[in-house]
């Protein structure tokens, strides 16, 4: 974990963001967005600060953080792998591709590999159905995948 992101300086920045948004309607989402930019993720310590600052129950904040895919409790890996589970990709076997990645990296969806290199995510249609099944690794797009393609692709990173 990149502990150096949890500095006093960053917590000060967070407090400023909270102060700025506090009296606005629907302050939570913008504050969470900013907080995630500052810290790279939204662990409980950060949520507690937001709960205090916005005077909202921690459980409510936790609910929002875990509901929206854009928020993450843990720091993300250097590379984010997104496997599309949209209909076209699913029909063409993206679940098998996803399972193979889980096996290769020994992680579940939403988690980051122990070396901090890869975060695995399942996504909705990314608009490249013609290439189904599709996965992305950061900006790179891979299409017409079969499970056996996975090891050599991962090796490139
Ligand atoms: S369903 Fe996967 S890209 Fe559209």
- Which residues' Cβ are closer than 6 Å to ligand 1? 84, 86-89, 125-129, 132, 134
Q: Name the one residue in this structure whose structure tokens are 């995510």.
A: 121
Q: Provide the domain limits for residue 98.
A: 79-155
CA of 5 to the centre of ligand 1 (A): 35
Question: One digit per residue, pLDDT tens: the chain, 157 residues?
Answer: 445 688 999 999 999 999 999 999 999 999 999 999 999 899 999 999 999 999 999 999 999 999 987 898 888 899 999 999 999 999 999 999 999 999 999 999 988 999 999 999 999 999 999 999 999 999 999 999 999 999 999 999 9
Q: Are residues 57 and 121 in the same domain?
A: no
CATH number of 97's domain:
3.40.30.10
Question: Which of 125, 141, 144 best tests ligand 1's pocket when mutated (most atoms within 8 Å of CB)?
Answer: 125
CA of 140 to the centre of ligand 1 (A): 15
CA of 104 to the centre of ligand 1 (A): 23
CA of 130 to the centre of ligand 1 (A): 8
In a domain, 73, yes or no: no
Measuring CA to CA, which residue among 68, 109, 54, 105 is closest to residue 85?
A: 109
In a domain, 74, yes or no: no
Query: How many domains does the structure of the chain reveal?
Result: 2
**Each residue of 81-91: pLDDT tens digit?**
999 999 999 99
Six token digits for residue 124: 């909705």
* The pLDDT value given to residue 3: 52
- Residue that terminates a domain, selected from 67, 97, 112: 67
| pTM (predicted TM-score) | 0.69
């Amino acid at each position: 974990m990149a502990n150096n992101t949890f500095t006093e300086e960053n917590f000060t920045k967070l407090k400023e963001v909270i102060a700025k948004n506090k009296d606005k309607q629907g302050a939570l989402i913008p504050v969470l967005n900013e907080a995630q930019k500052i810290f790279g993720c939204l662990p409980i310590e950060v949520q507690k600060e937001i709960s205090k600052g916005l005077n909202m129950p921690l459980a409510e904040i936790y609910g929002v953080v875990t509901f929206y895919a854009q928020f993450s409790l843990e720091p993300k890996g250097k590379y984010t792998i997104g496997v599309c589970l949209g209909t076209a990709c699913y029909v063409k076997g993206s679940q098998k591709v996803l399972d193979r990645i889980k096996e290769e990296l020994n992680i579940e969806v939403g988690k980051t590999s122990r070396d901090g290199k890869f975060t695995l995510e399942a996504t909705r249609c990314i608009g490249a159905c013609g290439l189904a099944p599709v996965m992305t690794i950061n900006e790179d797009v891979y299409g017409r995948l079969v499970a056996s393609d996975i090891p050599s692709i991962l090796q490139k990173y």
